[in-house]
Amino acid sequence: MKKRKFEDWEFEQVQKEFGYKRYYKNFALLETWQACQESINSAETERLEQLRERLFYYAETWNEDELKFMFISQLVELVNFYSEHYKIFTQRKFAAVIGEWEVNGVVDFVVANGLQNPSQPFFFLHEYKQERKRDNDPLGQLLMEMVVAQHQNEPKIPLYGCYVVGRNYFFVVLHGQEYSVSNAYNAASSSDIISIFRMFRFVKRYIEELSNPRP
């Protein structure tokens, strides 16, 4: 049995070892996500502008914890990923045996069913890397986390993810053996931070619809 941690994977290795295919265009799930027009009120718009301005001035100087605490956590809190059916989990261990590989590691942030432990994951947020530091492949690591979750989930639903490098947000959708990645959204841009927030809110609505199916 071969073993490898999440942080040691590159996206090309994930594709070769497990037969995944990346689409660079015309991936309907990602296009729908990017085109979403979730509602946003004036108070939220004002708060997003405050956060955007803070990121604009400090993105190049924050370390990882500062980026997480001063910006990402407050952006996510505005979305409010909490209900009786799902919540945020951070720094949780995930592991799976996939073929000849035993894959494991710690997931930075995941929205999932469960109270004490995540059961069915829906959305991953990964990296928190500061602007000038990058010592691994953030897409490879996020993708491998999502693949592990995919093997644990029943039913096999589309999984959503996002990795963050400083002010840049990249959105990822995985479904079946196929996935796609967005271009960067710059959270220090007034228009992009609105788009980022709407895409997070889209995920919240998606999770609610799965967690509270209508009769």
pLDDT digits (tens, 9 = 90+) for 190-215: 999 999 999 999 999 999 998 876 55
| Burial of 199 from C-beta contacts in 10 A (0-12 / 13-18 / 19+) | buried
pLDDT given at position 116: 87
For residue 73, pLDDT beyond 60 = yes
Amino acid at 117: N
pTM of the shown model:
0.93
**Residue 117 vs residues 30, 81, 89, 96, 181: alpha-carbon distances, Å:** 28, 15, 8, 16, 28
Which pLDDT tens digit goes with each residue over 141-150? 999 999 999 9
The answer to whether 85 and 113 are in contact (CB under 8 A) is: yes
Given a cut of 70, whether residue 129 has pLDDT beyond it is: no
Residue 161 in this model has a pLDDT that exceeds 60: yes
Tokens of 77: 């809190």
pLDDT in tens, 30-52: 999 999 999 999 999 999 999 99
| Confidence check: pLDDT of 131 > 70 | no
Question: Where does the pLDDT of residue 20 fall: very low under 50, low under 70, confident under 90, or very high at 90 and above?
Answer: very high
Strand 185-186 vs strand 178-181: parallel, antiparallel, or unpaired? unpaired
Q: Which parts of 130-209 are beta strand (E)?
A: 159-165, 168-175, 178-181, 185-186
Please tell me the distance from the alpha carbon of residue 150 to that of residue 159, in angstroms, as a whole number: 8
Q: CA 72, 202, 88 angle in degrees (round to 5)?
A: 45
